[in-house]
Structure 1
Amino acid sequence: MTTDDKTRTELEAAVFRRLVEHLRSRTDVQNIDLMNLAGFCRNCLSNWLKEEADANGVAMTKDASREAVYGMPYETWKAAHQGAATPEQLAAMKKSSGGH
């Protein structure tokens, strides 16, 4: 399938929005679990969003990029959904990625 750049960009943007919505609905999945299994997490997505904004001259703070991914201020999400990492999760992260 061949698509023009505009269509490809629109499709990719829709997929990104769908991924973000999925992650927002799966608050049971901790960032450390995502890092251990996939090598990225919600924070990575928000960092990538900010990096692209910066590269394209779009003003975006780290807090704004995190809120775009989490759907709420990061500290609010952490307080409501983030549990303490288990020793097993921390060991797996250290082994798989050398830390986040």
Structure 2
Amino acid sequence: MDDQTRTRIEAAAFRRLQQHLMEDRPDVQNIDLMNLAGFCRNCLARWYQEAAADEGVEMSKEEGREAFYGMPYDDWRAANQTAASPEKQMAFKEAFARNVGDKT
């Protein structure tokens, strides 16, 4: 496979993941993704922003989020985000501690 084809396939896979998270399963909360997978929509938005920077495109955190979410982040949160239970918050803290510990 040539590099151009690989890049198109990777981009299509990313767009499908984005569609799945934003349209097919907006009910899945970011905290659930973080607790189970160690990343969430905000991580994907940050990676988008970082990839833009690698290509010489300056993009703020909010611009990266808007590019990924397809709308201002606060609008998406108001429409889709629910309060995390104390159990989910505790699981997040534990997962974060494990992940930070793995990187030290």
Give the TM-score normalised by structure 1. 0.90
Task: Give yes or no for the alignment of 1:75 onto 2:74.
Answer: yes
Aligned residue type for 1:12 = E
Tell me the residue number matched to 1:66: 65
Which protein is richer in helix relative to its size? Answer: 2
The count of residues paired between Structure 1 and Structure 2 equals: 98
Cα distance between partner residues in 2 of 1:43 and 1:55: 18
Tell me the residue number matched to 2:39: 40
Q: Which runs of 4+ in 1 moved over 2 A?
A: 97-100
CA deviation map 1:12-48 (0-9, x unaligned): 0000000001101211100000000110000000001
Percent of aligned pairs with the same amino acid = 60
Give the TM-score normalised by structure 2. 0.87
Structure 2 gaps, min length 5: none
Displacement of 1:83 in angstroms is 1.0
CA deviation map 1:49-95 (0-9, x unaligned): 11111122112222221112112110001111111111110111111
Tell me the residue number matched to 1:88: 87
Task: Give yes or no for the alignment of 1:8 onto 2:18.
Answer: no
RMSD in angstroms over aligned alpha carbons? 1.6
